[in-house]
Amino acid sequence: MDEHTNPQQYPAPPANPPYAGFDPAYQSHRRPKGRRPGALLAACALVAAVVGGGSAALVGELTGGAAGSTAHSTPVQNASLKGSGVSAVASAVSPSIVEIKASTGAGQSTGSGVIITGDGEVVTNNHVVAGADTVQVSLKDGSTRTGTVVGTDPGKDLALVKLQDAKGLKAATLGDSSRLVVGDQVVAIGSPEGLTGTVTSGIVSALNRDVTVSKEQGRGQRQQQRGLPQWPFEFGGNQYNGDTGSDKTTYKAIQTDAALNPGNSGGALINMNGEIIGINSAMYAPGGQGGGSGESAGSVGLGFAIPVNTLKADLAKLRAGGTNA
């Protein structure tokens, strides 16, 4: 065994060894005396001054800070829950998201909706159920219920559907869209192209985007019958995904890069606390001059949602059954 592995073979440390403050052998046998702690702190302070104030605070904490302090550094927690955040949100909220099929004489519109009460109130977009003769709603467990359109607000592209004989459903929690900031992580859940319970994620890309959509009854169904996506809308002076027609409305929307496709309309945009912060309502699909077609590519990361605070302010009118222009 060599002298570095047998403490008995260490020579007695000199009375005043050079660099004793930095030699692990000496530090393990004796506490620095005299002014050595001050020299150590001075050296650390010099390093901290080079690498910045944040490191200076950390060095101060690790070395005890002020004289007599016993503080220790506290690890920073990962608030984003990487690797589990999206799956946790999806697991918690998916039971509150439904698929909606609304039929008229002109065709069938497929979209999504959000359960907001245990007895079967479902929020969706007006353009999903506009002019519908019948509404069929598929739940997370695979069961299907008949729905009745209680009230619509074409001016805000919102509608309220009531499920027949419903009780004990899992209602979503409505959040506060005024607290959103650009860069917040979000999750979208809906039924794009009839693929129920599809989950995508992204961030809030922008706030208060002016989005213009059609208010005309049945336009969503006619668009689908011609093989075009639903959600004809305007943004920045251009029309996308078909003709919006002459009867239209403009609202302030949340922009997100979470993938949205036809069928996500009326579904949920959710924050990482599992709260609904928007109702997905429009998407940009490239293809052709200023508009998209059913044969164009899918989501390119430009989607829009109606802020949930707009919905909350409108709920009383929707429940009263009034159709607002």
* Amino acid identity for residue 181 in this structure: V
> CA 300 to CA 280: how far, in whole Å?
15
> CA 191 to CA 33: how far, in whole Å?
72
CA atoms in the 13 A half-sphere facing the CB of 120 = 18
Structure tokens at 84: 């589990």
CA distances from 28 to 18, 20, 31, 33 (A): 16, 11, 8, 14
CB distance 128 to 266 below 8 Å: yes
> CA 196 to CA 303: how far, in whole Å?
19
Helices in the chain by DSSP H: which ranges?
Answer: 24-29, 36-51, 53-62, 85-93, 126-129, 219-225, 308-319
The enclosing H or E element of 149 equals strand 144-153
Structure tokens at 36: 């050595």
CA distances from 22 to 54, 58, 115, 125 (A): 24, 20, 65, 69
Please list the active-site residues: 127, 157, 265
* Amino acid identity for residue 31 in this structure: R
Coil, strand or helix at 41? helix
